[in-house]
Chain A
Amino acid sequence: MEAFISFLENHFMPVAGRIAEQRHLKAIRDGVVSTMPLLLLGSLILIISYPPIPALEALVQPYVADLSKIVNATFGIIGLVASFSIAYSLAGTYKIDQLAAAILSLSAFLITVPLTEDGGISLTWTGSRGLFVAMVISIVTVEIQRKFVEKNLIIRMPEGVPPSVARSFAALIPGFMSLLLVWAVNTLLLKTLNLSIPEFINKVVAIPLMNIGGTLPAMLLAVFAVQLLWSVGIHGAAIVEGILGPLWIAFAEQNAAARAAGETILPNIINLQFFQIFVQSTGSGVTLPLVLLMLFTAKSKQLKAVGRAALGPGIFNINEPVTFGLPIVMNPIMIIPFIVGPLLVTTITYFAMALNIVARPYAMIPWTTPMGLSGFLTTGDWKAGVLQIINFLVAGAVYYPFIKLWDRKKLEEEKEA
């Protein structure tokens, strides 16, 4: 066990850390996360438009069409916004002009997007479907600009020219080249394959990636990684969400779009809320039942104290007092249920939604929303709240024998002292 933990510390942790800190992944994450305020606002409007309580439905019905304008301008443009914000983040890491890079990327994105028949910008590609397109386009345009800046192929203004003017001239050549290249590739693809860049990326990258990422085994692997990282005291959710977050958000957005279109059985089971609201309910490891076990059944004074400290934060899904206080971290006994419980919870939740016993999540809500309420709000289905309680009981049953064992050990230590 010691050897295993030191392996995690010395090999697994640095690798996971490096992946999460990889420049482009980090830029994608920061860029996508910056669309979060729009997603939260859009979700609120969706919840209002399709209230979870049937009696209210007739009341809001006359306003749904008007409200959908807000949905279109939030969920409907996250791809477009991401083409700006990802480029902005990435340019920041290279210390090149962030605003210029972001504006150029936005422009490049719009060059590729197929227009409507009368020449308008279609919402088809500006939303979640454009998210992967935005990732590719923003990285390509920023990298081109960086190459030009590094090779010093930019127009320099003489001294005395105001910085903002000098900056806009500096962006000219790199900007022109990156737009021209995107346009040329797009035109070439259209002429040869009859596919625009967005359609091509969707076919070759996005759909295969989503087909793999949307499966139960992929989610189980992700959850296992999160729990393993937390077992050595590393914020596993921050790392894994850093890698898979953009994909999960795209899934969430698809569900929201389907809900906005009036569908009741939504396309994706797995998305950001599946992970945050169901699998991570009461914190990574579903630890609130463990807190209650410590509070009400532990004989050791230390465990009772940890239970008291962890109860309040645990209700709001914050559980560091348990992971570090019990501790679960580096504790070979407690790591076992800490990993097994969430894997069971993931499986139960998946099948409850796959068999359509419980509705699938679509609304983005803050991850600090308490269990029961959070499941209800994100799905609009009260049974999702019940599912969270069932998960809570399952996790509790898994923790029970282990915390008993640990309690006895702690009690002996306290007696000796």
Chain B
Amino acid sequence: MDHSDKTSPSEAKPMGRRDFLTTLGWGALFASIASTGAGMIRFLFPNVLFEKPTRIRVGRPDDYSPGSVTYLESSRVFILRNDKGFRAMSAVCTHLGCTVNKDAGSNSYSCPCHGSKFDENGGVVRGPAPKSLSTCEVTLAPSGHMVVDLKSFVPPNHYFRV
């Protein structure tokens, strides 16, 4: 660098042509590297996923008897029916995503990975799970089938009535 001008720093001189071009050059280099890097990171986020649909048809309301708990294995969701209506409770543990099992002989649920326990409404009884099992939104399709949206959640006291 050429430091030939001996003016004191307080006298702010306008930037010389050489300094300006040097700054511009370095700036352009870093900007291009940064934007390439940002593009590279964006590239890693897939836009289209070949995953299973999150809206699934689960049959007609009459397929479920009152007071029953039905586990739909491929969708990892429990369909609960009681006198208040229908509730689709996700079987994905809120801790680290394992599949919870319904305990034999009782209406409670437990996770095999880290030992979380949930009561009959999906509330946490004990274990590391930070929140209760999610409740998915249930709607009725014009065909008369119930549709569960696995990615749309409603409060646990929200029951679907036919």
Partners in one complex: no
Partner-B contacts on A (CB < 8 A): none
